[in-house]
Amino acid sequence: VQLQASGGGLVQAGGSLRLSCAASGRTLSSYAMGWFRQAPGKEREFVATINWSAKNTYYADSVKGRFTISRDNAKNTMYLQMNSLAPEDTAVYYCASGATWTYFTPIRLNDYADWGQGTLVTVSS
């Protein structure tokens, strides 16, 4: 499966962006999907995840209340609506898929089998 993340860009603090992750090659409706981010000089970190039916979501504390993850299985696409952006949100954002969400919430990198190439989000102060 190929994942294509898009929607990144430069935005002022307090602004909003909507990221998209389009999948091709295989339907993703059976898997949990997630967003991760990697700031310069830092490790890749979990941002948000959504289960296959979109009934369950989970967020990192740092983005809770500001970011919203969603998905459209008919379009094989996942989204991340980011509001009230702050400079510390500056990072390359990666989408991921292929996770299962049963007993444990998939928040680790190795919970996911497939990764997109990343899209850069820069928040200016």
Q: What is the CA radius of gyration of the chain?
A: 13
pLDDT of residue 120: 98
What does the pLDDT profile of the chain (125 residues) look like in tens digits?
899 999 999 999 999 999 999 998 877 778 999 999 999 999 999 999 999 999 999 999 999 999 999 999 999 999 999 999 999 999 999 999 989 898 899 999 999 999 999 999 999 99
One-letter amino acid identity for 73?
A: N
Burial category of 73 from C-beta neighbours within 10 Å (exposed 0-12, middle 13-18, buried 19 and up): middle
pLDDT of residue 11: 98
pLDDT of residue 53: 92
HEC letters along the chain = CEEEEECCEEEECCCCEEEEEEEECCCCCCCEEEEEEECCCCCCEEEEEECCCCCCEEECCCCCCCEEEEEECCCCEEEEEECCCCHHHCEEEEEEEEECCCCCCCCCHHHCCEECCCEEEEEEC
pLDDT of residue 88: 97
pLDDT of residue 109: 96
pLDDT of residue 28: 75
pLDDT of residue 103: 85
pLDDT of residue 92: 98
Residue 16 in contact with residue 83, Cβ under 8 Å? yes
pLDDT of residue 29: 76
- Other C-beta atoms lying within 10 Å of the C-beta of residue 41: 5
Nearest to residue 111, comparing CAs of 51, 71, 62, 27? Answer: 51
